[in-house]
Amino acid sequence: MWTLADRKIESRLLIGTARYPSPQVLQDSIAASGSQVITVSLRRESAQENNSKRFWEYLSESGAHILPNTAGCHSVKEAVVTAHMARDIFNTNWIKLEVIGNDDTLQPDPFATVEAARILVSEGFEVFPYTTDDLIVAEKLRDAGCRIIMPWGAPIGSGQGLRNIEALKTMRKRLPELTLIVDAGIGAPSHASHALELGFDAVLLNTAVALAQDPVGMARAFQYAVSAGRRAYESGLMQASSRAQASSPTVGLPFWHHEQNL
């Protein structure tokens, strides 16, 4: 068990709900992933056909806590208004804050994100801000009152994995008191496992599961990968070395005994 904001949960895998072939595949994938937190874009889902009563029933039946997000927002005002709508609709003060600054890279606007975070925290929201791997921005978000920060591994939907490992390591080391969740860019279970091995508290992903040939099977693979990564981190990974070290002792072996008698 670990604590995410005000809830104790078991899974360290958060999963998105967009772009699945069908609501049934979505529901089956959530179950296979073991995720207890699912993120939903209020703006995106409201505009699509799967915004049916049955779609929302699938989300409710999953038993997972819903983390609404402000995907598609490009300004502080848009993000704040969307957050308030999400709180009313989903009856939660959790909000994944996204304020996009560039439509090609979908890179978040750091200035607008920090400003929106400060406003929303003051209004009682538990803000999960999506940001880059920039340490200074993360520190500004912390100073704005965020207890949880979600740095990207790589741009959204790129599947590149952890593109700047040293920056992520530094963020983890410098912000030990915060909950850090790698969000965006995760394309393979090994990427998710690596993030957990680095000491990140969880990962959030969507495309890697939703667009897989077998979304349910991929969701299960990510469940195992996240669990393995966390166990490895807690068990203490060996340190990399620039030189080889024999795993078997040489003392007592026949060739060693022979050389000593020469």
**Residue 204: exposure state from Cβ atoms within 10 A (0-12, 13-18, ≥19):** buried
Contact 148, 179 (CB under 8 A): yes
Q: How far apart are CA 215 and CA 62, in angstroms?
A: 16
Q: How far apart are CA 208 and CA 159, in angstroms?
A: 7
| DSSP 8-state class, residue 179 | E
Model pLDDT for residues 127-182, shown as the tens digit of each residue? 999 999 999 999 999 999 999 999 999 999 899 999 999 999 999 999 999 999 99
Cα 17-202-50 angle, rounded to 5 deg: 5
Q: How far apart are CA 228 and CA 208, in angstroms?
A: 18
Crossing angle (nearest 10°) for helices 215-235 and 189-197: 20
Backbone dihedral angles phi then psi of residue 125, each to the nearest 5 degrees: -85, 150
Segments of the chain scoring below 70 in pLDDT = 43-55, 248-262
Of 183, 106, 187, 116, which Cα lies nearest the Cα of 151?
183
| DSSP 8-state class, residue 13 | E
From the candidates 96, 140, 169, 173, give the one annotated as an active-site residue: 96
Q: How far apart are CA 192 and CA 130, in angstroms?
A: 17
In the prediction, which pLDDT does 47 show? 42
Residue 55 parent element (H or E): helix 53-61
In the prediction, which pLDDT does 80 show? 97
In the prediction, which pLDDT does 261 show? 54
In the prediction, which pLDDT does 259 show? 53
The yes-or-no answer on residue 96 being catalytic is yes
In the prediction, which pLDDT does 8 show? 95
